[in-house]
Structure 1
């Protein structure tokens, strides 16, 4: 696939710093920074695939989407919060595609969600249609077709950037329709849709120079008192990890972190 970068494994957690989004350590528990480089193939798993990437059994009943399994998180660029998602937020209420149509305005960002799948983002352009990046091509589809039976919601407020005017958002989206493979500048549907709405080059591949610093921090809320922070060189790297967590779900992410902390304690006790 065009614009594909070599996938790198996770760095050793023992080799990276503990950080806090405000620059000070608190008693919220361990925070470990790490940077990733990903390929842009996560959208390939959005439909027709199980969590492990294998083909789903068409006769298997789809699990109902459970908002309680949302991964609650916040993203900081240095000290500024640029993204925040809480499962308790009323703005994250999910609807059927048909019901969402009554709530959409041109230029809105729409997210399609389903258990065990990456979230899929699109730009509503009016007349029941969305523009979205799907399987390495920017497409103009009816919202109900793009949803593929998934639940959906309007996610204009997750990113804290100032939005462009609705006409410009729609224009940004429509001008990209038909782009595919090596012509693309985005690694997934979320980066594409967010770029259309906010116009920030940071959502594009190579939009930021990687110079060793890691200004982006993804804070995962494990409980009311504990959180875990990962550190990234670029916004698009952070988005890829955030999407991976959304794909896994809260339960699996917490299990993964618990296994990691257990491994760290074991390693420390041995040495």
Structure 2
């Protein structure tokens, strides 16, 4: 059964919407359900996009809009009532040469650039990292992987108990060379996080998407109000979270505000599907608002 799931995840479909087995009409104020990004790989989408852009144009785009930590959207992920992930806005990122001085074997690294999906890697020592790139697990020098992007150590974002550093490094190195249909992870973040925490929830098909949605992605709108998206698996949450990281804080806020205004009029805080925004699954999952 597991092999069948792994083969299905490599079909050329963009997304498969989840459904609530309990049901609920469009005017129901209850929880809204996120999109299952079953068939997409955001890291590959990013690589293909970069390959199609002339080098000069790509360089000019980044000169026009350099990475700004203040453009990141803070968020938190809950499994039932347990907070399992939290990102605050404004975390500093460093040039690759500076980042090397901060790394220890087993650390999780995140490379960031404006308008791109974050790229995650595991530092394994001797200036090298193991990471998932273009549907293959590779071992490269940190400076080569950064490709001019800024990076940071992100061990504390996920609140799971970390494995010993030597186990994290072994998990990463043991999979170097794994590619295509042999892969068990949707993107670089899921692979790197699995290496450090060893949780099957980061793997493709690691959780069955049936029943009530146990995961919540909370996005702050103001100091007193936030949007909450609900998902059936951690894998789906990661895909939506990374989509938000790619388009940036202002774009997410405009997306949500525009949908609220168009769909329900002033004063109504309930949300349906905001429509296509160019993310890996072609649209934003349905959401609901709540007071903090």
Q: TM-score range by the shorter chain?
A: 0.7 to 0.9
CA contact under 8 A between 1:46 and 1:120: conserved in structure 2? no
- The corresponding residue for 1:251 is 250
In the alignment, is residue 4 of structure 1 matched against residue 10 of structure 2? yes
Question: For the residues of structure 1 that align with 2:259 and 2:28, how far apart are their CA atoms?
Answer: 14
Structure 1 runs of 4+ aligned residues shifted over 6 Å read 9-13
5+ residue gaps in structure 1?
20-31
- The corresponding residue for 1:45 is 45
Which of 14, 19, 22 in structure 1 is aligned with 2:26?
Answer: 14
- The corresponding residue for 2:125 is 126
1:258–1:38 Cα change, 3 Å? farther
Report the CA distance between 1:18 and its aligned residue: 3.7
CA contact under 8 A between 1:16 and 1:34: conserved in structure 2? no
- The corresponding residue for 1:202 is 201
CA contact under 8 A between 1:70 and 1:249: conserved in structure 2? yes
Which of 86, 89, 99 in structure 1 is aligned with 2:88?
Answer: 86
Question: For the residues of structure 2 that align with 1:11 and 1:265, how far apart are their CA atoms?
Answer: 23
Question: For the residues of structure 2 that align with 1:95 and 1:186, how far apart are their CA atoms?
Answer: 27
- The corresponding residue for 2:262 is 263
SS at match of 1:156: coil
Question: For the residues of structure 2 that align with 1:215 and 1:11, how far apart are their CA atoms?
Answer: 13
CA contact under 8 A between 2:15 and 2:36: conserved in structure 1? yes
Give RMSD over aligned pairs: 2.4
Alignment of 1:29-178 (within 5 A): 32-47=32-47, 49=49, 55=53, 58-59=56-57, 60-62=60-62, 63-88=65-90, 92-178=91-177
1:37–1:246 Cα change, 3 Å? same
Report the CA distance between 1:11 and its aligned residue: 7.3
TM-score of the superposed pair, with normalisation by structure 1: 0.85
TM-score of the superposed pair, with normalisation by structure 2: 0.79
Question: For the residues of structure 2 that align with 1:42 and 1:144, how far apart are their CA atoms?
Answer: 22
SS at match of 2:33: coil
- The corresponding residue for 1:225 is 224
Report the CA distance between 1:209 and its aligned residue: 1.3
CA contact under 8 A between 1:113 and 1:151: conserved in structure 2? yes
Report the CA distance between 1:16 and its aligned residue: 7.2
5+ residue gaps in structure 2?
1-5, 20-24, 269-292
Question: For the residues of structure 2 that align with 1:105 and 1:11, how far apart are their CA atoms?
Answer: 40
